[in-house]
Amino acid sequence: MDSSVIVSAVLALLSGIGIFLVACKIMSNHLEAASSESLKRLFAKTSKNKWLGVGIGAVSTAVIQSSGATTVMTIGFVNAGIISLYQAATLIYGANIGTTVTAQIVALGMFGSGSVSMTAVFSALTGLGAFLMLFAKRDRWKTVGGIVTGFGMLFVGLALMSGSMDSFAALDSVKTFLAGIRNPILLVITGAIFTAIIQSSSVMTSIALAMVVSGLISLDQGIFLTMGSNIGSCVVAMLAGAASGLNARRTALIHLLFNCFGVVLFLLAGWLLSVLTEMGGFGSLFEKAFPHAPQTQLAMFHTFFNTVTVLVMLPLTQTLVSFVMRLIPEKAEPANPDRPHLNYVNENMLKTPPVAVQQVKREILRMASLAMENVRRALNTVSTLDFAGGSVFGRTEDELDYLNDALIKYVVKLSSQRGLSERDRVYLSSTYRTVRDLERIGDYAENFMEYADALRQMNQRFSPAALDEIRQLADILDNLYAKAVAAYEHEDFAALEAAGVIEEETDDFTKEMEDNHIMRLTNGTCTPGVGAQYLALSSNAERIADHLFNVAKSIRVLAA
């Protein structure tokens, strides 16, 4: 009899965990899609203000319902050099506070009596959300439906987990076994291991809540399991850090040490409390503070635990960062530090698509800057025949070729991720041509260098009049680049219009260059050999202007 009850209860528990995890994923994806622009602005405001960092981490985690996602996002930012280790630490602190929101929601759902409970009411939202997802015509309402469905499914999973705990609680053998696990260290380790396996502290905390409410374990036991879940949640960060750079590994270690410190602090405080007051540990305090509500008692402890740990550690953040930097010291520079690479995006950021989209734009803007730098170098070289910058030009061209290939591959992966808003998907679809336009600008700059080399071999150079025209051309291209970048970065249609005017000015000026060149050929100022290079240069410059304007024009699809 007992064996069949246990098997049924285990199956129900596994079903509940599965539904709960799927619910978290559904809600997280749709919340990210709905709040993608807000999340982008939020992380853009990260600064050295430690309280702001904590607030951003807490709000972001509360919004997307995943401390793991926030932590992975933070590690990606550190790895890309966007934020410092100090800033990353404060974001992680905030994520630990934000993740307690899930426990509070679950605890709220456990209230109710009679035939209709809060769990049943919230679970019914699953059907309402599903109807919205299936029958709504607008993407915004489909996203809302996804959020509501995920929220309702949380309580469907919770109901299954709670029911399985009730079945367990009815067995004397199970009660005797669990009652024997009183060692706080063992309970913390159990909570950490289970959380590491399922990679969700929210699920571990929810299971502990269900066990406490059903009377399967005491509040103190639930507290120690919950504390262990904080350590187990670091596995996600450790995995992300292991596959990333030096500072990413340091960030993951900061997360682990921070949570371990909090557990040690509360284990010692709980022991002192029981010894000095003879009233038991934290369990007795929260039982008195929230009588007859075991779910609230554990949920409030979870929030209290993370908040107090943050308050204690916040003034010690710089010490923690310095300690971690000593544990993971700087390594010698690699043999080829100039090897092409992506600065702002990595594989880990694919777990947080809305932020990855923002970083793709930063990477494209960097590519635009590199392309224009080479245009300037090449025009200077063809004007002065000074090839001192040739090696830098070559490295930059190699990086442009690498970015062309790497960015396209990354965007393909990112486009297949869930949790992207329709606007983000439209933007990503436009990046393929933008990246290609920028790579072509680099190719035309390379042509300029070839013209310079041809002049050197002929031992000739452009006439003073031609050089003056090239200087004017460089200024026009610089102005066009500035307007194109402003339009692309800020979706500034006034800048787009200005870029269009300058692009037409470039067409007119390159035509004028060709007419002037013919006159110089006629009066003998220029030789045919030099003239051929000059005509090719003006033609290539006109094409560079076209590609720059294409970059600016790409924002039109976002306004459609």
Q: Residue 335 falls within a domain, yes or no?
A: no
Within a domain: 531: yes
354 and 264, same structural domain?
no
* Contact assessment for residue 503 and residue 549, using Cβ atoms and an 8 Å cutoff: yes
Query: Do 330 and 250 contact (CB within 8 A), yes or no?
Result: no
Decide which of 299, 327, 355 is a domain's last residue: 327
What percentage of residues in the chain have a pLDDT greater than 70?
79
129 and 163 share one domain: yes
Q: Is residue 408 part of a domain?
A: yes
Do 315 and 374 belong to one domain?
A: no
Q: 441 falls in which pLDDT band (50, 70, 90)?
A: very high
Nearest to residue 350, comparing CAs of 432, 412, 406, 405? 412
pLDDT at residue 187 tops 70 = yes
Reply yes or no on whether the pLDDT at 4 is more than 50. yes
Of the pLDDT bands very low, low, confident and very high (cuts 50, 70, 90), residue 334 is very low
pLDDT for the residue numbered 522 = 81
Q: What's the whole-number mean pLDDT along residues 307-333? A: 85
* Same-domain pairing of 60 and 189: yes
Per-residue pLDDT tens digits for 261-296:
999 999 998 888 877 776 667 888 888 888 888 888
Measured distance CA(25)–CA(154) in Å, rounded: 10
342 domain-assigned: no
HEC string of 429-449 equals HHHHHHHHHHHHHHHHHHHHH
Q: Do 138 and 249 share a domain, yes or no?
A: yes
Residue 500 pLDDT exceeds 90: yes
How many domains in the chain?
A: 2
Q: pLDDT, tens digit, for every residue of 78-136?
A: 765 667 788 888 888 888 888 787 778 777 766 654 444 556 666 778 888 888 888 88
Q: What is the pLDDT of residue 212?
A: 84
Instruction: Taking residues 324-351, report their average pLDDT.
Output: 72
What pLDDT was estimated at residue 241? 65
Mean pLDDT of the chain: 81
Q: Is 383 contained in some domain?
A: yes
Q: Are residues 362 and 505 in the same domain?
A: yes
Please, is 246 exposed, middle or buried when counting C-beta atoms within 10 Å of its C-beta (0-12, 13-18, 19+)?
A: middle
Could you tell me if 290 and 383 lie in one domain? no
Over range 485-495, report the average pLDDT.
Answer: 94
- Cβ(304)–Cβ(297) under 8 Å? no
333 within domain boundaries: no
Mean pLDDT within 438-452: 95
Give yes or no for residue 202 having a pLDDT over 70: yes
243 or 250, which is more confident: 250
For 123-148, b/e burial (b = at least 16 CB within 10 A) is: bebbeebbebbeeeeeeeebbbbbbb
| Whether residues 298 and 359 fall in one domain | no
- Amino acid 247: pLDDT: 77
Confidence of residue 25 (pLDDT cuts 50, 70, 90): low
Q: Is residue 42 part of a domain?
A: yes
**CATH code for the domain of 391:** 1.20.58.220
Q: Tell me the residue range of the domain where 66 lies.
A: 2-327
pLDDT in tens, 382-418: 999 999 988 999 999 999 999 999 999 999 999 988 7
- What pTM does this model have? 0.62
pLDDT on residue 161: 66
Domain boundary (297, 327, 357) is at 327
pLDDT score, position 433? 95
The span from the CA of 435 to the CA of 491, in Å, is 17
pLDDT of residue 333: 43
Q: How much of the chain exceeds pLDDT 90, in percent?
A: 32
Report pLDDT for 119: 60
Q: Is the same domain home to 415 and 506? A: yes
User: Which residue among 327, 360, 388 closes a domain?
Assistant: 327
Residue at 227 is within a domain = yes
Looking at the structure, tell me whether residues 367 and 295 fall in a common domain. Answer: no
| 223 and 360 assigned to the same domain | no
Same domain as 399, residue 530? yes
